[in-house]
Amino acid sequence: MPSPAQAAIARLPQADLKSIFTADPDRLSRFVLTQGPIRFDWSKTHLTDDLMDAFLTLAQERDFTGWREALFAGKPVNNSEGRAAEHPAERGQGNADSVARARMFHARMRALIDAIEAEALGPIRHILHIGIGGSALGPDLIVDALGGDGLRYDVAIVSNVDGTALERAISSFDPHTTLIAIASKTFTTTETMLNAASAINWMVEAGVDDPYGRVVALTASPDKAIEWGVDETRILPFSESVGGRYSLWSSIGFPAALALGWDAFESLLEGAAAMDRHFRLSAPHENAPLIAAFADQYYTRVMGCQTRALFAYDERLRLLPSYLQQLEMESNGKSVTREGDPVDGPTAPITWGGVGTDAQHAVFQLLHQGTILTPVEFVASIEPGHALDPAHHRALLVNCFAQGAALMRGRDNPDDPARAYPGNRPSTTILMEDVTPEALGALIAFYEHRTFANAVLMGINPFDQFGVELGKEIAKSIEADGPKGFDPSTMALIGIALGGG
């Protein structure tokens, strides 16, 4: 049974985007919001005042403000695992004890970084960061977005268990001047532990004196890191209540803090903290993550859109789509509510995307003329990330804005339907002043809170991820006991490729 607000949302007629603008020329005043260095523009979505009212009622029905307070108070919002979700504490926001603990861990990280810079571990030129999922995607995004050619060390972030990834990464590294950072919340993840062991072997084979002395562990399981052979003085812990895909602010961000410098890392945290304050203190009707979640809910649950696409019109943000895939799909790709009941509609759409303008020449055909409606998000920066002719950045931004206009406007062609564009296709534009540490911190925190807001509106827990376990367990059982009792297809594949069938 839909709730009264859900019924109201479903009943509201959908107007064409162009007519929405004609009927409401002042739309920008209500559907554009600037928060610090970022301008969010939802005016080219189907959100109207009536829809906003209905969604605000839905937020009340779902006790959005109560859940938001519980998040910041360090209450166990991750109910299935009986844990808080304290990534905001890493930015100085939330429960006082958790904030103090995060500060202590940051101080420890900073001290180790100072020691590394002072060559206490010998000369270091390269950082080999080994981790996967949340222990890789966040640091990779930050280092890639903010590093440019100003990185203090060469950084390689290796995640895949495919040895080609590690081999390629170390091919240009000198083992005698490399620092290995093993990033794993649990310190049990198969891929990470295998890559870490191979990295140590690489050092041993090259005759490095004390390879374990060149290892730093970034983890919420310090005991496991000690067992593995990392000296306690080089373990940078973080709290168990910081989820893997929300952990770049903790010691998992170590390669970024080391390679970009501590000031940049602190600015990243401060940018995120500003977004935390906005999310926590702003009224629902002017709350950027919540409004974004309203649009998400509308397209997924009312319009039945199964995907959402994000295009970074800035090469510095090229890793943003893959970062968001984990954040959004691992958080909200669920089928049951917090109480374990079946959900009352679709949950997270598939997040996909790429960079502009490349994507225009590859996938935009479907966005403009395909039969599957896809809400599009553009992310761009007013300032360029390079010193070349300003014509580059101008062309980039002109293209970005042209695509949003074209999706909305469309074009009739009564003589040739193949050349007609239906239009009425929604897009959101997120315009940053520049890709600075502050702005990037705020942008990522915006996405985190938007993911949480979506979960609250759907009544699900965004902080667990049991769906990833079954495949891991089966792989482990094949390694431990050999292939037994599988279907004929799986048995044959194993037999042919691994010789164990």
* Catalytic positions, written as ranges: 330, 361, 472
Interface residue with ligand F6P, options 133, 147, 175, 321 (CB under 6 A): 133
Cα(110)–Cα(263) distance, integer angstroms: 10
Q: Which of 57, 177, 186, 357 binds ligand F6P (CB under 6 A)?
A: 186
Q: What is the 3-state secondary structure (H, E, C) of 105-160?
A: HHHHHHHHHHHHHCCCCCCCCEEEEECCHHHCHHHHHHHHHHHCCCCCCEEEEECC
CB of residue 253 to ligand F6P, shortest distance in Å: 13
Q: Report DSSP letters for 295-331, one per residue.
A: HHHIIIIIS---EEEEEEESGGGTTHHHHHIIIIIIH
Stretch 190-209 residues interacting with ligand F6P (CB under 6 A) = 192
Closest listed residue to residue 366, CA positions, set 325, 305, 324? 305
Distance between CA atoms of residues 262 and 83, nearest Å: 30
Nearer to ligand F6P, 195 or 297 (CB): 195
Contacts with ligand F6P: how many residues (CB under 6 A)? Answer: 14
Residue 427 interacts with ligand F6P (CB under 6 A)?
no
Q: Does 189 bind ligand F6P (CB under 6 A)?
A: yes
Query: In the stretch 214-253, what mask flags binding to ligand F6P with x, by CB under 6 A?
Result: ------------------------------xx--------
Q: C-beta of 481: minimal distance to ligand F6P in Å?
A: 22
C-alpha radius of gyration, the chain, whole number: 24
Task: Confirm if 486 and 501 have CB atoms less than 8 A apart.
Answer: no
Which residue, 375 or 462, is less far from ligand F6P as judged by CB? 462
Residue 185 interacts with ligand F6P (CB under 6 A)? yes
Look-up of token digits 């996938």: 363
Under rule CB under 6 A, residue 93 binds ligand F6P: no
Q: Does 468 bind ligand F6P (CB under 6 A)?
A: yes
Q: Could you tell me the CA-to-CA distances from 47 to 20, 268, 297, 300 in Å, in that order?
A: 9, 31, 11, 13
The conformation of residue 467, written as its DSSP 8-state character, comes to: G
Is 139 a binding residue for ligand F6P by CB under 6 A? The answer is no
Is 83 near ligand F6P (CB under 6 A)?
no
Q: What is the DSSP letter of 284?
A: G
159 is a site residue for ligand F6P (CB under 6 A): no
| Residue 401: strand, helix, or coil | helix
Taking CB under 6 A as the binding criterion, the range among 59-67, 165-173, 179-187, 274-282 that sits at the site for ligand F6P is 179-187
Residues that bind ligand F6P (CB under 6 A): 132-135, 184-186, 189, 192, 244-245, 330, 465, 468
